[in-house]
Copies of this chain bind each other. A is one copy, B any other.
Amino acid sequence: METTRDVALGIDTATGVQAALFRSAPIFRNIENHALADLAAISKAMTAAEGTILSRQGEPASHLLVLLDGRIALETLSAVAATTVVEIVPPGGHSMLSAVLGDVPALMTARAIQPSRLIGVDAAGLRGLLYREPSIAAALLRAEAAAFGALVRQVCDLKLRTTAQRLGCYLLELTDETAANTVALRLPFDKRLLAARLGCRQENLSRAFAALRRLGVETHGARVILHDIAGLRSYALCDC
């Protein structure tokens, strides 16, 4: 296995992604075996140190990025502030799909906010496969609709919910528990990033955590304990 290192980017890449690796990413789950082999042939395994820029807004989107481990922040440059955090991609998620399929410049900057392990699928190669392999096309177009739906939900969230409600929904998304009385979580990134993701200032995030205390949300740094999931859910009125 050949390994190269791009020192400037802090990305290690190894060619020869094993088809089995693709199965761990939901976006590739329903793709047929022979098509997975085609995908593997145009993909590379990547590791990225914290802080690495994986793709830059406005530049060609050279790869679909599928995150196996770590976290990626999707940010945009704006005339109002240095950057806006649009979304934080969790393990199993992906980014750059829309720009890759549409063959347009990257819509957001992707930055590893934790040491990350990824699959990078060559953009031009993927567009080629789209026409030849219906199971790949169906999977990608469904993934794009899901990503679109997530943005729609975020727009609604920002238009309708208070910061405390948005925080409540975000905390509930971090757990699969819906019935337990008590669940302990770890915030997967720092509160500065969490505030940016929720679209509020850090002091408002602190106020939001304080407001959720009466709903059984206990915090100790990055550790969060939810004592009343049902109560939090009916307060935050999540749609997810």
Contact = CB atoms under 8 A, between A and B. Distances in A.
A148 B154 CA distance: 13
A158 B237 contact: no
Interface in A138-157: 138, 141-149, 151-156
Given A84-B155, A98-B144, A101-B141, 19 more contacts: A78-B160, A78-B237, A79-B237, A79-B238, A81-B160, A99-B145, A101-B145, A102-B142, A102-B143, A103-B141, A103-B142, A107-B149, A107-B152, A108-B152, A148-B151, A151-B155, A155-B155, A158-B199, A160-B199
A137 interface: yes
Contacts of A238: 79
Contact residues of A: prevailing secondary structure: helix
A146 B102 contact: yes
14 contacts: A78-B160, A80-B237, A86-B152, A98-B149, A99-B145, A102-B141, A102-B146, A103-B141, A103-B142, A130-B137, A131-B131, A131-B137, A148-B151, A158-B199
Interface in A71-105: 76, 78-81, 84-86, 98-99, 101-104
